[in-house]
Every structure is written in C-alpha cells, then in structure tokens.
C-alpha cells in the first residue's frame, strides 16, 4: 500500500460491494485504496427463454384478449419484445399489438414501438408518474375501465399503486414482469454480506447499479433482516455510482452519502475512500 493511501484511503475499513461480473476488479480497487473488500455477487443475467410469465402473456396477447397495454420503460419494453420473439413471429406480435390500445410512459418505450412501426394511442407526458398514467387513462375513458383487460409491462419492481388504481377503475389487470437479471445461483456470499451489514461489520457499501439494491433488499427480506437495517444505515456510509442507483436506494430508505464526480467504478471507489472517514465521523458523532 503506498504512503498516500495509508493517510487518505479507507485505512482498513471493511468495504462491501455487490459486483458480479466485475467482482475481481472491484476487490482490487478496494484493496488498492486501503480497504478490506467484502464483494458478494448479486446478479445473474436471465436467458430470454426463461421468462415464463412474459411468454404466458404472449399467448394471451396473440389470442386477442388484451384491450390496453401499458409500457412503463424503454428497456423493459425492448426486453419484452425480445422475449416474445423467441417464441412468436414478429409479424404476429405486431398484429396483436396493433389491435390493442398502446399506452406508453415517456419517449423511450414510444421509440421502441416505432421500431415495430407502431404508434402509441396514449403518450403519458413527463414526469410520468403512476398518477399521470391514471389521469391520461381517465381522460380517454371517462366512464372508467369496466371489464377492460389491461396488461402492464413492469421492469424489475412492481408498481402496486398503478395496479390498484387500474383495478379501482374496473379493469382486469395482468402485470407482466420482465427481468434482465435474477439472483445468482450461489447465494452464500450475498447472504453473508447481508448478515454482516446488519451486524454493523461493514463500514462502507458501494452500489454500482439499481438491480443490486433490489437483490440486496430481497435477501434481507427473505432472512427477516429488514427491521435491523434502518438503525445500521444511520452509522454506515452508502456510496452510489449515480442517479438511477441513488433513486432506487432512496426508494428503499437508504441514505446516499456520496455520488462520485463521474459515474465510473474506479472513481467511485477512489472518492469513497477519500471521503469515508469524514462522512463516518459526521454520522457517528455523538448528538449535541
């Protein structure tokens, strides 16, 4: 360890990360900046052919039993079409969507629809929250959605308020969850990291994407450790690579103590190591 890092780096703090493919690189970076790395792979890419719920939705869509289709995200919309194309001809998917009222949230899913030559019937304007989606539907269906069969493409996490709002308007709702990622086959390292976090054995946690947050929460919930999390977060440092990861952290009640000057892993580790001692000192200062 070079002399500078002894004074300015992590100085022997235990640093947790949820890196999968880049785990060896993350371990090296944490060590180089004076930390003790605890890296637990948290993600595995899910093959398109294994999305049973999405494929079951495809059968429903192609049998013309969906009235309204809501696309929430560009990446989820694209992934859903890719999944459907593993089983159904593209023309058949396009034809089925043509006879459906297409509702899209923001420009990204609208762009994906355009690649199929489809135009959304209802384009929900920014900031396009679930409330905006319901308002847009109310404007088009003032009598409500009684008996309408509505499918909602979800990416990663579900939106219970949107689903409930649709049901209150009389719709029959089918959520279509689309995941690019699933939990890794070997859960032991992730389970161990979750335990170490709630046992206050980890001083700093580094988050490099939003899915890592979902998967950590899933493991904490399955082990009934969520109640222990909040008090611990008040004393540890949470560093996030950028806006999307930070948003997901805050949704789950995590603080975001640091975002790096550029959303790159090397810069995240370096800047977290430089700020860790000051941030932890502030968070752990006795109340005045």
The mean pLDDT value of the chain amounts to 93
**Statement: the pTM of the whole predicted model exceeds 0.75:** no
Flag whether pLDDT at 5 surpasses 70: no
User: What structural domains and CATH numbers belong to the chain?
Assistant: 3-43+183-283 (3.40.50.10090), 48-179 (3.40.50.10090)
Q: Could you tell me the pLDDT band of residue 255, with boundaries at 50, 70 and 90? A: very high
CB 131 within 8 A of CB 159: no
Which tens digit of pLDDT belongs to each residue from 131-166? 999 999 999 999 999 999 999 999 766 789 999 999
Q: How confident is the model at residue 288 (pLDDT cuts 50, 70, 90)?
A: confident
Distances 222 to 190, 226, 275 between C-alpha atoms, Å? 12, 9, 33
Q: What are phi and psi of 91, to 5 degrees?
A: -60, -40
The more confidently predicted of residues 45 and 261 is: 261
pLDDT tens across 182-207, in order? 899 999 999 999 999 999 999 999 99
Q: What is the 3-state secondary structure (H, E, C) of 34-71?
A: CCEEEECCCCEECCHHHCHHHHHHHHHHHCCCCCEEEE
């Amino acid at each position: 360890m070079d002399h500078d890092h002894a004074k300015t780096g992590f100085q022997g703090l235990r640093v947790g990360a949820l890196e999968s493919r880049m785990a060896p690189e993350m371990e090296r970076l944490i060590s180089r900046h004076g930390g003790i790395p605890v890296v637990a792979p948290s993600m595995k890419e899910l093959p398109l052919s294994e999305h049973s719920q999405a494929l079951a939705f495809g059968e429903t869509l192609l049998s013309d039993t969906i009235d309204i289709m809501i696309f929430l995200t560009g990446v989820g919309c694209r992934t859903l079409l890719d999944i459907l194309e593993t089983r159904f001809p593209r023309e058949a998917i396009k034809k089925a969507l043509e006879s459906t009222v297409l509702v899209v949230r923001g420009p990204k899913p609208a762009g994906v629809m355009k690649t199929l030559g489809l135009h959304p019937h209802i384009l929900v304007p920014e900031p396009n929250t679930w409330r905006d989606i319901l308002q847009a539907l109310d404007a088009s269906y003032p009598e409500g959605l009684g008996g309408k069969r509505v499918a909602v493409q979800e990416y990663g996490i579900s939106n219970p308020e949107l689903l409930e709002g649709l049901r209150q308007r009389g719709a029959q709702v089918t959520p279509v969850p689309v995941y690019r990622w699933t939990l890794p086959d070997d859960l032991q390292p992730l389970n161990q990291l979750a335990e170490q976090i709630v046992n206050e054995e980890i001083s700093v946690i580094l988050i490099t994407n939003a899915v890592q947050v979902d998967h950590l929460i899933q493991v904490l919930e399955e082990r009934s450790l969520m109640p222990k999390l909040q008090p611990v977060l008040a004393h540890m440092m949470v560093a996030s690579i950028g806006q999307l990861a930070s948003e997901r952290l805050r949704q789950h009640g995590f603080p975001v103590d640091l975002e790096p000057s550029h959303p790159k892993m090397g810069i995240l580790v370096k800047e977290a190591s430089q700020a860790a001692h000051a941030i932890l000192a502030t968070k752990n200062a006795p109340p005045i």
